[in-house]
Amino acid sequence: MKNQAFRDRAATFAAGLMVQAVWPLLVIAACVLATPVIGLTAGPRATPLSAGAWFVAAASALAILAFSTLILFDALLFRLMASHDSEAAGAGAVDDVLARMRLKPIPAATRSLDERIAGARRLLMKQRTAFCLFAAASLVAAFI
């Protein structure tokens, strides 16, 4: 991959990850702000099912927060990759940062940009699954 194409692709993917890290948090914050209003209207009809649904919604909201943090960290690593002249130099810098933070040992061979993007997409899928669980549990808790 040419150097400028690599840099553009890494920077574009990093920007997309930033958006994907933030929007679920904004939706959760809106739901939390709306919770007292919903709780006042559904107070006397609270059931064990709705209490369990609120618990599942809260747990999945925490999972979304954790996944969003990891996605934001990945976005910063992709921005670091994009700041280097070549894919090999950028991947080496990311591996060096992860090794210095003691998150991963230095690998024998550096992973390509495509492999790193695939890993970030798997993380996005986990976040979206947790978000769907949050939305379903919130709807159940609000309307039961």
pLDDT in tens, 32-53: 887 655 554 455 556 677 778 8
CA 127 to the chain's CA centroid:
5
Does residue 95 lie within any of the structural domains? Answer: yes
d(CA 64, CA 61): 5
d(CA 48, CA 56): 12
- The total number of residues shown for the chain amounts to 144
Name, in order, each residue with C-beta under 8 angstroms of 123's C-beta and a sequence gap of 6 or more: 67, 70, 71, 74
Does residue 49 lie within any of the structural domains? Answer: no
Number of structural domains found in the chain: 1
Does residue 135 lie within any of the structural domains? Answer: yes
State the residue range of the domain holding 65.
Answer: 3-39+60-143
Successive 10-residue mean pLDDT values, the chain, 144 residues: 85 96 92 65 61 87 96 96 92 94 92 94 96 91 77
Q: What is the pLDDT of residue 40?
A: 46
Does residue 90 lie within any of the structural domains? Answer: yes
Mean pLDDT taken over the chain? 88
| Neighbour-count burial for 57-89, b at 16+ CB within 10 Å, e otherwise | bbebbebbeebbeebbebbebbbbbbebeebee
